[in-house]
A and B are shown apart, each in its own frame.
Chain A
Amino acid sequence: MATPAARRGERLAPYVLVAPAVLTIVVLRLWPLLLGVNFSFTGDGERDGTAVGVDNYLELFRDPLFQGALGNVALLVLLLPVAVAIPGLIATFIYLRVPGHRLYRSVYFFPAVLSPVIVGAIFNLLLAFDGPVNAALAAVGIGRIDWLGDPDVAMFTVVGVHVWATFGMALVVFLAGFATLDAALLDAARVDGASLPQTIWHVIVPSLIRTIQFVFVTTMVGMLTSMFGLLYVMTSGGPEGSTYLPEYYIWIQQGQMNRPALASAASTVLFLIMLVVGMLQISLLRRAGRED
């Protein structure tokens, strides 16, 4: 028979045990987050330290550069299916054992271990106006393209390089998904005379739907939060501000323009965007879980 004191101790024990983790989260995560939100309601420069209400947010949404950055976020979401389809298709070919599939598996994964700065530097050289890619295009009679200097092209160029550099990881996830695929279904499709597109559409896609959803969400988060390095090295937000993303905008305002309060407001907006993406992720995974 436990004494009341012992019972109380037992009741409190879980709280004591989780206290370090909770404290760490509150002090190192929530508190800085709240400070950031708090700073976004204060001024920069001469108005440093004074409450300015939502002035920073109004300025932010009036700034064409920030509007452009948000527009680019929307563009990334539109380009997402392409970024998912590429590793999906390549994984399918590897799974279906195209000749040399073992070599391809490692070759495709290799860029995933390169730093974005290195990738950016490599593609800067390749895609320079007088670089080898344009020289090759000129040699076959196609005009040279200003890959990083044309505002209508630059964002697609950077996204393309980002996809090149990161699809290896998604490929591995797809291959793991394929490992769980029932081979009997593929055999049945083959016996029934299904073509490759029919096999992909009617057998592989439905069987891998959970994997596809997972790759969709992780790729989206990666695109929204991990392109800073590439943007910094390849375009510096240019030309004409056409490749700005919220992350890059925050860095410029904080580091170059000495406007930390405005940067805090932009960070808060980016945080809210990421929150929506995170919620979407949770709801997608939950829905996928229910199909089991």
Chain B
Amino acid sequence: MKHRAVVSAILVAGLALAGCGSATGSQSSSGDPNGKLVVWDWKSGDASAAAYIDKAKADFASKHPDVTVEFVAQPFDQYYTLLGAAIQAGKGPDVVLFNGGGQIRDRVDALLPLDEYVADDRQRLAGWEAFTSDGRTYAAPVTLQGHPIYYNKALYADAGLDPDSPATTWNEFVDDCAAIIETTGADCLALGNKEGYGIQFFMSGLASGILTPDEYDAWIDGKRDWESANVKRIFQLWKEAGDKGLNNEGANSTAMFNDSFALFQSGKAAHVIGLMSDVGHWKDFGEFLPADELGVMAAPVATAGAVPSLPYDGGIGYGVAKWTTDPAAAAALVRSLTSTEALNAFYAEAGAIASDTTIDVSQAGPAVAAMVPELSSGKPALHVALSSQTLELMGRLSQQLLSGSVTVDEAVRQLADSDQAG
């Protein structure tokens, strides 16, 4: 009887609590008041980023000799889970690395707006939009993340195509693919869609050749017309590429990192929509493909009136947590992490296309030489504008489109619902 009374009392206490409090904590102020800043990222442990971190540290130390800095490199696959726990506790790192787009926009409640601190860096750095929410800037860009279409010039030559004149229209592209597949036995597109990321790269890599410039700009501005024929065309072409055998087989069970990129760099696929930050990019591919065999092409035009452009945004950037005890010092550290000297080191060691537009990239080879001039006319990538929820749904639907278990109309309808709800 007594036991029942105790259990009942506990249950009553629990139910009395129900619906109170918050799952994301009170975000009380914490941090170390003794002149120490803690940085969380997933880069500082990489050997290729060592010179970058050293330069940033040295720059910060020269300006704030009384503040020590501790970098804590977290595993990337657990990064946002760990960060979520820190946000719920209202305690954690002072300076935080983020991917641009949904990952930072979903968490701006835990961040300090940096506009007043980074005004002087506005012109020098590019890619701010990916770290902006409701007109306020929450992180300073370190790299630019774009989705260039890389191609293998040697496979083009083997297939009897002109390696220096890749297709400019979608139909030509499909024809070239047929020639490459038939002559070389290689796949046309290396696609890793196990995690559902493949569709994001496809959408952003090819969309400037599918949407008209007005549709493209409206999408980025948040006026997304999912009913428009050209938006549907993106998903139709995704399905068409699968149905026509342009992709490697088993795309839905092929991981993007590093399996699909490995298919491209080992010459088993002629094209890949890759990255231009510090992985899955020209420098990675250059280890296996000689620089003169690695081409970069514009999105083939599928719609009359479309104007291909390089899709890119701020890639990764450092922000400042709301709970830091010394916002000025934390913001100064962010500025050191985006200083020209530090970013130059990141570019030189890791091959990242850094956000600093003053860095000289003329020695980096033909692929970079083809990309960098496109930055001035480039536009933000389409998928970066979508919420995490919609991206996750798009990943699943993209797998269903490849397997044929959903129609394009149904997929677009679900995405529209998710996008409008978000």
A residues contacting B by CB (< 8 A) are: 26, 30, 34-35, 37-39, 41-42, 44, 48-49, 51-53, 65, 128-130, 144, 146-151, 154, 235-236, 238-241, 251-252, 254-258, 260-261, 263-264
Asked if B17 is an interface residue, CB under 8 A from chain A, the answer is: yes
Task: State how many angstroms separate the Cβ of A245 from the closest Cβ of chain B.
Answer: 16
CB neighbours of B389 from chain A (8 A): 257
Do the beta carbons of A39 and B22 come within 8 Å of each other?
yes
Interface residues of B, CB < 8 Å — how many? 39
Do the beta carbons of B81 and A251 come within 8 Å of each other?
yes
Do the beta carbons of A261 and B23 come within 8 Å of each other?
yes
- State in angstroms the CA–CA spacing of A26 and B249 once bound together: 54
Residue from A34, A37, A149 within 8 A of B250 (CB atoms): A149
Given contacts A34-B13, A38-B21, A238-B399, 13 further A-B contacts (CB under 8 A): A38-B19, A44-B23, A49-B24, A128-B253, A129-B254, A151-B403, A235-B194, A236-B195, A238-B195, A239-B194, A239-B403, A254-B81, A258-B107
The 22 sampled A-B contact pairs (Cβ below 8 Å) are A30-B10, A34-B10, A34-B17, A35-B21, A37-B14, A41-B18, A42-B19, A53-B19, A128-B253, A146-B250, A146-B252, A150-B253, A150-B403, A238-B196, A240-B399, A240-B405, A241-B396, A255-B78, A255-B84, A256-B80, A256-B392, A260-B88
Do the beta carbons of A38 and B20 come within 8 Å of each other?
yes
Residue from B21, B249, B253, B405 within 8 A of A42 (CB atoms): B21
Asked if B106 is an interface residue, CB under 8 A from chain A, the answer is: yes
Do the beta carbons of A148 and B253 come within 8 Å of each other?
yes
Residues of B1-36 contacting chain A, CB below 8 A: 10, 13-14, 17-24
CB neighbours of A147 from chain B (8 A): 253
Residue of B nearest to A51 (CB): B19
- State in angstroms the CA–CA spacing of A51 and B22 once bound together: 9
Do the beta carbons of B80 and A149 come within 8 Å of each other?
no
Residue from A39, A146, A256 within 8 A of B253 (CB atoms): A146
CB neighbours of A263 from chain B (8 A): 23
- State in angstroms the CA–CA spacing of A39 and B196 once bound together: 30
CB neighbours of B80 from chain A (8 A): 255-256, 258
Do the beta carbons of A148 and B194 come within 8 Å of each other?
yes
Given the known interface contacts A149-B194, A150-B403, the answer about A257 and B19 at a Cβ–Cβ threshold of 8 Å is no
Asked if B388 is an interface residue, CB under 8 A from chain A, the answer is: yes
CB neighbours of A235 from chain B (8 A): 194
Asked if B251 is an interface residue, CB under 8 A from chain A, the answer is: yes
Do the beta carbons of A240 and B400 come within 8 Å of each other?
yes
- State in angstroms the CA–CA spacing of A150 and B24 once bound together: 37
Task: State how many angstroms separate the Cβ of B407 from the closest Cβ of chain A.
Answer: 14
Task: State how many angstroms separate the Cβ of A272 from the closest Cβ of chain B.
Answer: 14
Given the known interface contacts A53-B19, A240-B403, the answer about A260 and B253 at a Cβ–Cβ threshold of 8 Å is no
- State in angstroms the CA–CA spacing of A51 and B20 once bound together: 6
CB neighbours of B249 from chain A (8 A): 129-130, 144
Given the known interface contacts A255-B84, A258-B84, the answer about A49 and B252 at a Cβ–Cβ threshold of 8 Å is no
Task: State how many angstroms separate the Cβ of B289 from the closest Cβ of chain A.
Answer: 20
- State in angstroms the CA–CA spacing of A3 and B14 once bound together: 41
Residue from B13, B106, B253 within 8 A of A149 (CB atoms): B253
Q: List 7 tightest A-B contacts by C-beta distance, closest first.
A: A129-B250, A149-B253, A255-B81, A51-B19, A49-B22, A149-B252, A260-B23
- State in angstroms the CA–CA spacing of A60 and B250 once bound together: 31
- State in angstroms the CA–CA spacing of A56 and B18 once bound together: 13
Do the beta carbons of B195 and A239 come within 8 Å of each other?
no
CB neighbours of B14 from chain A (8 A): 34, 37-38
Residues of B378-411 contacting chain A, CB below 8 A: 388-389, 392, 395-396, 399-400, 403, 405
Do the beta carbons of A238 and B194 come within 8 Å of each other?
yes
Q: Which of the listed residues B23, B80, B196 has the most CB atoms from chain A within 10 Å of its own CB?
A: B23
Residue of A nearest to B254 (CB): A129
Q: Which of the listed residues B18, B80, B196 has the most CB atoms from chain A within 10 Å of its own CB?
A: B18
CB neighbours of A239 from chain B (8 A): 194, 252-253, 399, 403
- State in angstroms the CA–CA spacing of A257 and B392 once bound together: 9
CB neighbours of A30 from chain B (8 A): 10
Do the beta carbons of A48 and B252 come within 8 Å of each other?
no
CB neighbours of B388 from chain A (8 A): 256-258
Residue of B nearest to A254 (CB): B84
Residue of A nearest to B396 (CB): A241
